[in-house]
Amino acid sequence: MTNKLDIFKCNVCGNIVEVVLSGGGELVCCNEPMELLKAKTTDSASEKHVPFLEENGEEKIVRIGSTPHPMEEGHYIQFIEVISKDHKWVKRKYLNPNEQPEMKFRCKCENKFDAFGHCNLHGLWVNKFEGEK
């Protein structure tokens, strides 16, 4: 069973997929079941992975790490995604090495959203914003 917006990874080829609409069955890639990624919330590495929020007027900025995450060829944030609590609003930005690990956006979601970042080496990270700003 999959759920809307679950993220899965193939441990053979590295494909990453996100469920757009949930359905029955198992996701399979390379003849193997795909792994459901569980987002981490606590960072103990020297690099920081947990997304955090800044605001500039109506514009919101999600940055990965309280100090910028490395964005090198072998170690970088592959994407940032913001999902409103009601799952009706989704915004994703794909990143490449040497880009800033941040995403700017506008949303009338009252700062009630989850922000995700995916590191090519350390996996999926999340911070849940509940409207505190």
What number is the average pLDDT over the span 89-102?
Answer: 96
* Domain pair 7-36 / 51-130, same fold: no
Residue with tokens 């919330």: 41
For the four alpha carbons of 90, 130, 118 and 70, in that order, the dihedral sign comes to positive
pTM: 0.90
Q: What does the block give as tokens for 55?
A: 């605001």
State residue 46's pLDDT score: 53
At the second CATH level, the architecture of 7-36 is Single Sheet (2.20)
State residue 45's pLDDT score: 61
The closest of 113, 125, 120 to 53, measured between CA atoms, is 113
Instruction: Select the CATH number that applies to the domain covering 51-130 from these four: 2.60.40.730, 1.10.220.70, 3.40.50.720, 2.40.50.430.
Output: 2.60.40.730
Cβ(76)–Cβ(120) below 8 Å? yes
How far is 42 from 45, CA to CA, in rounded Å?
9
Q: What does the block give as tokens for 89?
A: 């609003």
- Higher per-residue confidence, 46 vs 41: 41
